[in-house]
Structure 1
C-alpha cells in the first residue's frame, strides 16, 4: 500500500524532548558535591559584619576555599580575567597566585562580598546548586542533538539485529565487501552513516535527524539524501534508510516530498512506533 505524503507529514512531531532533556540533575548534584567542603567554608562568611577581615582570616587558614569562588559567579574555569581603571588581572583559583588583597578586591568588585554580607542568601550550597541548574540548561542543545539518535537506536535494538554507530563508507566496504563508490563519488568524498544495520540478506545505512524549526539546512539535507537514495538503488545488498521528523519540515515540505517520492525507506517516529524497522529488517 503506497503512502500519501500529506498524510505522512501530518504525523510529524513538534518536539521529542524527554523528561531528562531540561536539566541533568545528577550532573548538577555531582558538581555541587565536588566543591561542598570549599562552599561550606565560604558559607561561614554569610552575614559577616566584618566581611573583608573574616575573608582574609578564612583564606589564610583554608586557602583551598578559593576553588569554590568561580562557581559563585557561574564560571567553571579556574581562571577569571578582569579589568577596570586600575588595570587588568588574570585571577587563578586552583592555586593561590595573587595576594590576599587582590582576592579581596576581586570579591568586592564582583559583588560577592555584598552577596555574602547582606544575607541575600542563607546557604551557599543551595545557591551553588541553583547556579549549576542554570549552567546545565546550556547543555540542552547537546542533549537535544542526541535525542533523535537515541530514539532511533532504541528501535533498532528492539529488532535484535547486529548494528553499528557512526560507520564510514570505507569501513562498510571493507567489512562486507560492498562497493559504495557511487555514494562516495568514487571515494573522493567522506560519508558516515549514523547507524548501519546488518541482516543476513542486506546491509542498511541509516541517517537520522530531527528539525524542530525551519532553515536552509533542511532543504540541503533533503536534496543530499535524495541523491544518496537514487545512487544506492543499484547497489546490490545495500539499502539507504532515512529517519526524520520535526515541525521544521512543514515549511520545507516540497524538498522532503521529492525525497519521499524516490526513497522507499523514509520514515518518521510514528513509523518506528508502528513497527517499520521490524518489517524492514525481517
Structure 2
C-alpha cells in the first residue's frame, strides 16, 4: 500500500484527498502549441527550392512552366510532399480507373520520372494551387503549423517529464550524496528505461516514471497494472519506485488509482511531489 505516513499524510484518506485536490488541469506550457523553431528550420532548409517554385504563382501555363523548373532544378520535387501536407517522400497512390497502385518518388536521391511527377502534381491539384495562392512560403508555413499538431501528443509527455525533472534536479541539491540521471536503463526481469533515476552515493536508489493523463481511458489502467509489477521487482532490489502521474483524467478513474495506490508504495502528482519530496528522499 502507498506509504502515506512516509510522505507526511495522516491517513490514506488524507493522501487520496491530497491527490485529487491538487491535480494539474493541464500540462500545456507555452511551448506545447507550436514548435516554431522546427517549422522555421524546415522552411529555411528549402528556401531556394521554395523560391524557385514560387515563380509558378499566377503562371499562365503552370504545367509547362513546372516541367521546365523540375528539368532545370530537380531538387524542387523534395518540397512537393510538404505542399500536399504529407511527410512521405515515396508516395503510393491508387489509380481508381485502372485499380492499380502507382508509386511516385519525391526523394532527392531517386526521384520519379518527370512525366510521373507532372502527372501526379496535376491530378492531385498541386499545380492548380499556384493559381490560388499569393506566396508559397506563407502557404507552407501554415501547412507546417498544421502538421506540427501531430507532434503535440509527444510534446505533452516530454513537457511533463521536463517539469518533473526540473523539480527533482532543484530539490536534490540539498542532498550532497544524491545525483540524478535521465532515461537510464536498468535490468529487472527485463531491461527497463526509467524516466529518472536518483543515485545515492552513486548507487541507483529512487526510480521515477512520469505520465500525464488529460482524459480517462484504458491506457492509464494498462500503465498502472504494469507499474504494479515493476514496483514489486524494484523493491526486491532494495530500490524505491515512484510514479509521478497527473491530469484531470484521474478524476474519472478512481478504481484504477485506488488499485495502483494499493500496490505501489509511492504514487504522487506533481504538487504532491513538490510538497513531500524531502520526506521521500530522507531514506
Global fold match (TM > 0.5): yes
Distance 1:40 1:250, change over 3 A: same
- CA offsets per residue over residues 39-95 of structure 1, 9 Å max, x none? 110110100111122222223322222222221111223222233236543222225
- In structure 2, what is the Cα distance between the partners aligned to 1:205 and 1:29? 37
* DSSP-derived class of the 1:208 partner: strand
Distance 1:164 1:202, change over 3 A: closer
- In structure 1, what is the Cα distance between the partners aligned to 2:260 and 2:113? 65
Q: Which has the higher contact order (CA 8 A, sep 6+)?
A: 2
1:232: Cα distance to partner?
5.9
- In structure 2, what is the Cα distance between the partners aligned to 1:203 and 1:240? 9
The answer to whether the 8 Å contact 1:38/1:65 transfers is: yes
1:228: Cα distance to partner?
5.3
Task: State the aligned residue count.
Answer: 262
Instruction: Output aligned runs, 1:124-163, within 5 Å.
Output: 124-158=136-170, 159-160=172-173, 161-163=178-180
- In structure 2, what is the Cα distance between the partners aligned to 1:168 and 1:100? 49
Could you list the runs of 5+ residues in structure 2 that have no partner in the other structure? 1-8
* DSSP-derived class of the 1:8 partner: helix
- In structure 2, what is the Cα distance between the partners aligned to 1:104 and 1:267? 57
1:43 aligns with 2:54: yes
Distance 1:81 1:162, change over 3 A: same
- In structure 1, what is the Cα distance between the partners aligned to 2:43 and 2:153? 22
Match of 1:18 in 2: 29
* DSSP-derived class of the 2:24 partner: coil
1:112 aligns with 2:122: no
Match of 1:218 in 2: 220
Match of 1:277 in 2: 277
Could you list the runs of 5+ residues in structure 1 that have no partner in the other structure? 171-183
The answer to whether the 8 Å contact 1:194/1:206 transfers is: yes
Distance 1:208 1:25, change over 3 A: same
The answer to whether the 8 Å contact 1:243/1:266 transfers is: yes
Distance 1:222 1:55, change over 3 A: closer
Match of 1:252 in 2: 253
How high is the TM-score relative to the length of structure 1? 0.81
The answer to whether the 8 Å contact 2:25/2:248 transfers is: yes
1:104: Cα distance to partner?
2.4
* DSSP-derived class of the 1:206 partner: strand
1:264: Cα distance to partner?
5.2
* DSSP-derived class of the 2:38 partner: helix
The answer to whether the 8 Å contact 1:199/1:281 transfers is: no
- In structure 1, what is the Cα distance between the partners aligned to 2:182 and 2:40? 31
- In structure 1, what is the Cα distance between the partners aligned to 2:67 and 2:233? 71
Over aligned residue pairs, what C-alpha RMSD do you find?
2.7
Match of 1:30 in 2: 41
Match of 1:179 in 2: none
Instruction: Output aligned runs, 1:261-272, within 5 Å.
Output: 263=264, 265-272=266-273
- In structure 2, what is the Cα distance between the partners aligned to 1:216 and 1:133? 30
The answer to whether the 8 Å contact 2:19/2:268 transfers is: no
1:267: Cα distance to partner?
1.9
Match of 1:68 among 71, 79, 93: 79
- CA offsets per residue over residues 96-151 of structure 1, 9 Å max, x none? 754443332222111122111x2x11000111111111111111111112222212
